[in-house]
Amino acid sequence: MINKFNLRYLILPFLVSISIFSCKKDANVGNQEEKLLTNAVSIENGYLKFRDQKAFDSLVNILVKPENFNSKPKELQNFKSYRDIYLEISKEYENVNTNKSFDDFKNKYSEIVEIKSDSSLTYKFGTPLSALFTNIKGEVKIGDVTTVYTNDQRMVSYSGKHKSELEVSNISRTDLTKGIFVSNISTKTHTSGSNQASTEAEVVTTAIKSQLYYNEDGKRRLFVDLWLESMPAPSTHDASFRYYFTSRQELKRTFGGWRTNETDYYFSNLNYNFSGFTYPMAPDGVSYNFNLPSYSVGNATGPIIIDLGVKTGLGNGIAGTGRFFSGGVPNAPSFNVPN
């Protein structure tokens, strides 16, 4: 049985409020720097601005396809995402081989990436999905609503003119009268496989399960994670969610611990059932099935995303099984949810 969690009563009032608030024009908005990429996507103040939710969903659906991870759609050729920057930093990290170079690297990039206790790198803010469409400040704009993924693992959405990093950091709580909504991103995964969301009502994006596999000599390891992501949306009818898996291999270096490395990724017999609540609300939600018999991505640097597709409404639970493995960790067992 798919476990259920109920966040719809939290998000929907906000979406109604922020949609209404968005209709109020700010006299100071007109002087923002904007560079047109297509009719639906532009660069404004260094972040991507999407004309509407449909334009956002369409481009993200392209970005999450594994075959596109080593290339960029033409709409984004002049935009550098947080993931692009993270990969550049990871490449530079490969050359770190002394204590001094490690200290220099840490001083240079500690505000952009997180350096874990085992010396491996991970994203400083946001999620593997948001890294595809946010800039180095974690920003994206859909319609008149700007969402910022912050270093303290929050999603701050607001309507109106662009706010500075200091202004965003000073926003501490939701204020629907001002078109502001604040939610948390939970990165605390459950190795038991529970796909219940956190009991904190404000959490709408969460890492549900994480599994770590090693190869036989212990010199390579593979992270497999399951995420539920509630997407930023400017109106009630645009509320959407997606479940997705990420796969990332790391190599143990002689100096400095673990580093993400390029490898081949494989996916076999993925079969997962999931459900969501839609608007207007159906009492039992809507059920979906994702099935992928076999797939591979060659010569890639993770995390690689396997997306189950964007759905209208709010995620309600997932169960199933499948194998995620790599060239360096070929014998990883099945990834079972909820077990």
Looking at residue 278, its pLDDT comes to 74
Low-confidence ranges of the chain (pLDDT < 50): 1-31, 190-201
Distances in whole angstroms, Cα of residue 176 to Cα of each of 52, 91, 110, 180, 263: 21, 42, 34, 6, 46
Record the tokens describing residue 181, joined without a space.
Answer: 């909504």
pTM above 0.75, yes or no: yes
The length of the chain in residues reads: 339
Whether residue 244 contacts residue 266, with contact meaning beta carbons closer than 8 Å, is answered with no
Looking at residue 17, its pLDDT comes to 44
Distances in whole angstroms, Cα of residue 56 to Cα of each of 33, 80, 243: 20, 17, 17
Q: Left, alpha or beta for 308 (phi > 0: left; psi -120 to 50: alpha)?
A: alpha
Who contacts 199 (Cβ-Cβ below 8 Å, separation ≥6)? none
Who contacts 322 (Cβ-Cβ below 8 Å, separation ≥6)? 267, 268, 269, 270, 271, 272, 292, 334, 335
Whether residue 272 contacts residue 243, with contact meaning beta carbons closer than 8 Å, is answered with yes
C-alpha 92: how far from chain center? 23
Q: How far is the C-alpha of 313 from the C-alpha of 104, rounded, in Å?
A: 45
